[in-house]
Structure 1
């Protein structure tokens, strides 16, 4: 499955609402109202859905800045 679609589905699941057409530039914290708990839920969703293994040493604010940056991180970790 396309990582961009999977990330968007995981975001919608975590936020428990439909989010059609989330743009890449949507900011997780500012635009989508994520908090630290939501980020953990998102990482669990991505691990379960896609088998992405998260390296805590790689995680920083840049990874979670926008939908696009988390998609890039997931894509990189699938390769």
Structure 2
């Protein structure tokens, strides 16, 4: 019963952290996709609009970790989390690992 409660209760995400993640993801897109990307926002679809593959998606997460000096748990990272820049930022904000 507690497991169900845990999975249905959304984790509160710090809006400032989410904004920082969205900005960082948008800034990394040209590097990861190896082409110019302009006008990306939290609502930009990663796979449909930008043609991101699962490989470039994982590269993006690794680059994000390096840029922000954070460790992100990728254990539950799925295709849905790569829906938009915003959904990826939400996933990252809710799945940061504590610093060792």
Q: TM-score, normalised by structure 2?
A: 0.65
**What's the counterpart of residue 43 of structure 2?**
25
8 Å CA contact 2:77–2:91 kept in 1: the answer is no
Unaligned runs of 5+ in 2: 1-16
Unaligned runs of 5+ in 1: none
**What's the counterpart of residue 5 of structure 2?**
none
8 Å CA contact 1:26–1:66 kept in 2: the answer is yes
8 Å CA contact 1:52–1:74 kept in 2: the answer is no
**What is the CA RMSD across the aligned residues, in angstroms?**
2.2
TM-superposed deviation, 1:78 = 7.9
Higher relative contact order (CA 8 A, sep 6+): 1
Q: Residues 25-44 of structure 1 correspond to what in structure 2 (within 5 A)?
A: 25-44=43-62
Query: Which one has a bigger Cα radius of gyration?
Result: 2
Q: TM-score, normalised by structure 1?
A: 0.79
